[in-house]
Amino acid sequence: MKELICIVCPKGCHLKVDEENGYSVTGNACPRGAEYGKKELTAPTRVITSTVKVRGAIYSRCPVKTAAPIPKGLIFAAMELLNDVELQAPVRVGDIVIEDICGTGIPFVAARDL
Amino acid sequence: MMNYDKHYEVVIVGGGPAGLAAAYSACRNGARKVLIIERDREVGGILNQCVHNGFGLHYFKEELTGPEYAGRFADMVKGTRADIMVDTMVLEITPEKIVKCASQQYGYQAIKADAIVLCMGCRERTRGAIEIPGDRSSGILTAGTAQRYVNIEGYMPGKKVVILGSGDIGLIMARRMTLEGAKVLAVVELCPYSNGLNRNIVQCLNDYNIPLYLSHTITNIIGKTRVEKVVISEVDGFTPIPGTEIEFECDTVLLSVGLIPENEISIRAGVDIDGRTRGAYVYENMQTSVEGIFASGNVVHVHDLVDFVTGESIRAGAAAAEYALGKRVGGRVINVVTKPGVNYTVPQKIRPDNIEKNVEIFFRTNKVRGNSVIRVKSDGNEIAKFKREHMAPGEMEKISIPKVLLDRCGDSLEISVEDAES
Ligand SMILES: Cc1cc2nc3c(=O)[nH]c(=O)nc-3n(C[C@H](O)[C@H](O)[C@H](O)COP(=O)(O)OP(=O)(O)OC[C@H]3O[C@@H](n4cnc5c(N)ncnc54)[C@H](O)[C@@H]3O)c2cc1C
Ligand code: SF4
């Protein structure tokens, strides 16, 4: 039995996950908690947010995020990819910044208009 | 009569998420001349620098970053008739609702408002405000300032970091600095518990193996020009315990030691301030003690979730529009009284005649609790109770009381929290 805090929403339910019984979850106030509990112990993922350089805009950084959660083990490799990016304004929210993060097929996208 | 340059039905001071939602709602509720005044170069407030995700789960039913949430609201406001004036600082509001402001482009202006919504947000407490001992070296800054440097301006404030305070901003910055290549040596918290959301402890500290020192504080900062070393000690209550010192070699100290509602302008306008929230006393519709002046968002009480800021501001904007169009609210006033276990409530005053179905009351409890009961009494008689499995000062609570119960209760509503009998 493993105890976790669900991070899917700010409520932060205290979960109990039974690894021996198909990762069944208790303590979750909604189904997303059950899904998280299982995934966190089998293949944990996170959405990563950061910023990249941008030219010709009111600010010098543009916020970006992974379009979907990526495997936890790839976080620093993903961050590395952003170091060489330089956008040119105008940028639109949702514009693709990096097409494929480390073979996951998941892109980094811009998180605002600039 | 005072002179003024322009007239608006509703003037909103501050264009953060509170101001944007208030403007949107004022327009939706019939106001035709609505103005947002924002001192920064764009609207969005503090959200523009909060590039992490976790905003909008309640309101948009999806997880957005701060800039995305702000952008959606800015677009919604642009679709209304509201005017937006950026790069303009409000200097004073008179009790007659003349809003005096200044900008580089237009100079000084006096704007007459029929109704005003105060949405100025918070500022961060600084080192001076909490009196940390030690050298006055460079490299000591608030977490919010560091957030602005990293996320908007593109500067890294340092490489080896100690963070004082485990509120959400401190936790978020611990992760952010780590991702950008800094080493965060410690997050130091005076209380025996973190004031941040549990999810942020997990995804900002535990994910990156950043140690959290509870019941500890910084007892010395050493460094001639730049910070070189920080000493932390365990505390017994608020008193450092000799012999428990731990030293960290670092070049940066980030302070995340609380927010203070920005109310200098409100006070000069005659608005009464509640010492517990450090924001205005408000009625159920977010009106302050001055008729026609409303307030919402962090300027009223510090919120952890922007969605609640939005909800509150939608009510404030609607009420301001109604006031500007001539509606007046009267009738009996019920005072909400804080009893043991409750640090403050918003609203502090409720007029049952102005409630349609139910009233939402926000509050914070005074300590971390397991199974608990929230009791609502009037003149000593219990009229409602609510159960919670977990409560903490870092998490704002919300209860909803139906109008039928308010109609039956006396002139005070007492709210308390106690441990549930197991
Ligand atoms: C540094 C910091 C980081 C935060 N991080 C998070 C987070 O990660 N997650 C989260 O949910 N919440 C966070 N918060 C809380 C967040 O502030 C609220 O959720 C929300 O942004 C409050 O909205 P608001 O509109 O009340 O205030 P703000 O967003 O602060 O907006 C207030 C606006 O009023 C303007 N203003 C103030 N005075 C004047 C004046 N005199 N004239 C003209 N304009 C004026 C300001 O420029 C600003 O744009 C953070 C707060 C701070 C201070
Ligand atoms: S289980 Fe559901 S309600 Fe509880 S924290 Fe997770 S997502 Fe939120």
Phi, psi (5° rounding) for residue B148?
-65, -45
Spatial CA neighbour of B100 closest among B268, B318, B348, B323: B268
| Protein residue with least CA distance to atom 2, ligand 2 | A30
- Whether the pLDDT of residue B1 is over 80: the answer is no
Does position B2 have pLDDT exceeding 90, yes or no? no
Distance B28 CA to ligand 1 centre (A): 23
Closest CA in chain A for residue B72 = A112
**Closest Cα of chain B to A25: distance in Å?**
17
Which structure tokens are listed for B88?
Answer: 């303009």
Rounded distance from Cα B90 to ligand 1 centre (Å): 16
- Domains of chain B: total: 3
- Residue-wise pLDDT tens digits, B226-251: 999 999 999 998 899 999 999 999 99
Q: What is the tens place of the pLDDT at every residue in B172-190?
A: 999 999 999 999 999 999 9
Whole-number pLDDT of residue A1? 86
Structural domain includes residue B266:
yes
Mean pLDDT, rounded, of chain B: 93
Residues with CB under 6 A from ligand 1: B 13-19, 37-40, 45-47, 50, 89-90, 119-122, 124, 144, 147, 168-169, 172, 259, 262, 265, 297-299, 303-306, 309
Q: What span, in angstroms and rounded, lies between the C-alpha atoms of A18 and B48?
A: 41
**Among the listed residues A3, A50, A48, A10, the one whose alpha carbon sits nearest the alpha carbon of residue A30:** A10
DSSP letters for A17-34: EEGGGTTEEES-SSHHHH
Q: How many angstroms separate the CA atoms of B4 and B299, rounded?
A: 26
Residues lining ligand 2, Cβ inside 6 A: A 6, 8-9, 11-13, 28-30, 32-33
Q: For residue B280, what are its two tokens?
A: 């205005």
pLDDT in tens, A43-62: 999 999 999 999 999 999 99
Cross-chain residue pair B199–A9, CB shorter than 8 Å = yes
Q: Determine, yes or no, domain membership for B396.
A: yes
Domain for residue B89, yes or no?
Answer: yes
User: Which of B328, B353, B374 lies at the terminal end of a domain, its last residue?
Assistant: B328
pLDDT confidence of B43, banded at 50, 70, 90?
very high
Ligand 1 closest atom vs CA B44: 49
| Residue B129: per-residue pLDDT | 60
Please name the helix (run of DSSP H) or strand (run of DSSP E) that holds residue B312, with its range, or none: helix B306-324
Chain A residues touching B41 at Cβ < 8 A? 58
Show the domain range for B351: 337-419
The answer to whether residues B283 and B219 belong to one domain is no
Q: Do A72 and B151 touch (CB under 8 A)?
A: no
Q: What's the CA gap between B177 and B252, in Å, rounded?
A: 11
What CATH number should be reported for the domain holding residue B409? 2.60.40
The answer to whether residue B67 is domain-embedded is: yes
pLDDT in tens, A97-106: 999 999 999 9
Instruction: Determine whether the interchain pair A50/B179 forms a contact, defined as Cβ–Cβ distance below 8 Å.
Output: yes
B360 burial class (0-12, 13-18, 19+ CB within 10 angstroms)? middle
Q: What is the DSSP string of B123-134?
A: EE--HHHHT--S
CA distance B93 to chain A (A): 30
- Class in CATH terms, A49-110: alpha beta
Report the 10 Å Cβ neighbour count for B412. 13
- This prediction has a pTM of 0.92
Based on the domain organization, do B311 and B341 belong to the same domain?
no
Contact B234, B241 (CB under 8 A): yes
Asked if residue B55 lies in contact with residue B308, where contact means CB atoms within 8 angstroms, the answer is: no
* CATH code, domain with B163: 3.50.50.60
Q: Where are the domains of chain A?
A: 2-43, 49-110
Average pLDDT estimate for A11-34: 90
B153 neighbourhood in chain A, CB within 8 Å: 59-61
- Which of B230, B257, B284 is a domain's end point? B257
A46 vs B: CB within 8 A:
yes
| C-alpha atoms less than 13 angstroms from C-alpha of A35 in its C-beta half-sphere | 6
In a domain, B384, yes or no: yes
Nearest CA-CA distance, residue A102 and chain B, Å? 17
What ipTM does this complex have? Answer: 0.92
Residues B81-130 pLDDT 10s: 999 999 999 999 999 999 999 999 889 999 999 999 999 999 998 866 66
B388 in a structural domain: yes
Residue B264 to residues A55, B93, B107, B142, Cα–Cα distance (Å) = 38, 10, 22, 21
Q: Do B53 and A61 touch (CB under 8 A)?
A: no
Q: What is the DSSP string of B68-88?
A: HHHHHHHHHHHTSS-EEE-SE
Q: Confirm if A50 and A62 have CB atoms less than 8 A apart.
A: no
Residue B144 forms part of a structural domain: yes
Higher pLDDT, B390 or B50: B50
3-state secondary structure of B380: coil
* Residue B13 pLDDT class (50, 70, 90 cuts): very high
Q: List chain A residues with CB under 8 Å of B183.
A: none
pLDDT (average), residues B30-46: 96
Q: How many Cβ contacts (< 8 angstroms) between chains A and B? A: 78
Token look-up 């991070």 returns A7
| Ligand with smallest separation from the Cα of B198 | 2
Let me know whether B99 and B191 are in one domain: no
> Longest C-alpha distance within chain A, in Å?
55
Which residues pair with residue B260 across a beta bridge?
A: B123
Q: Which residues of B touch A112 (CB under 8 A)?
A: 48, 65, 67-68, 70-71
* Claim to verify: residue B132 and residue B251 sit in the same structural domain: yes
| Stretch B20-38: mean pLDDT | 97
With beta carbons less than 8 A apart as the criterion, state whether B333 and B42 touch. Answer: no
Query: Do B84 and B197 have their domain in common?
Result: no
Q: Which helix (H) or strand (E) holds A81?
A: helix A75-82
B1 lies in a domain? Answer: no
When mean pLDDT is compared across A62-76, B152-166, B383-397, the lowest value belongs to: B383-397
Last residue of a domain, one of B223, B257, B291: B257
Mean pLDDT to the nearest integer, B319-342: 95
Predicted pLDDT of residue B92: 96
Choose which residue among B120, B147, B257, B262 to substitute to test ligand 1 binding: the one with the highest number of ligand atoms within 8 A of its C-beta. Answer: B120
Q: What one-character-per-residue DSSP string does B180-237 give?
A: TT-EEEEEE-SSSS-SS-HHHIIIIIGGGT--EETTEEEEEEE-SSB--EEEEEEEET
Residue B145 parent element (H or E): helix B143-148
**CB pair distance less than 8 Å for B67 and A112:** yes
Q: Would you say B195 and B365 are in contact if contact means Cβ atoms under 8 Å apart?
A: no
B421 DSSP assignment: P
DSSP B225-293: SB--EEEEEEEETTEEPTT--EEEE-SEEEE---EEE--HHHHHTT--EETTTTEE---TT-B-SSTTE
d(CA B264, CA B261): 9
Integer Rg of chain B from CA: 22
> Could you say which residues from 148 to 167 on chain B have a Cβ atom under 8 Å away from some Cβ of chain A?
150-154
In a shared domain, residues B77 and B132? no
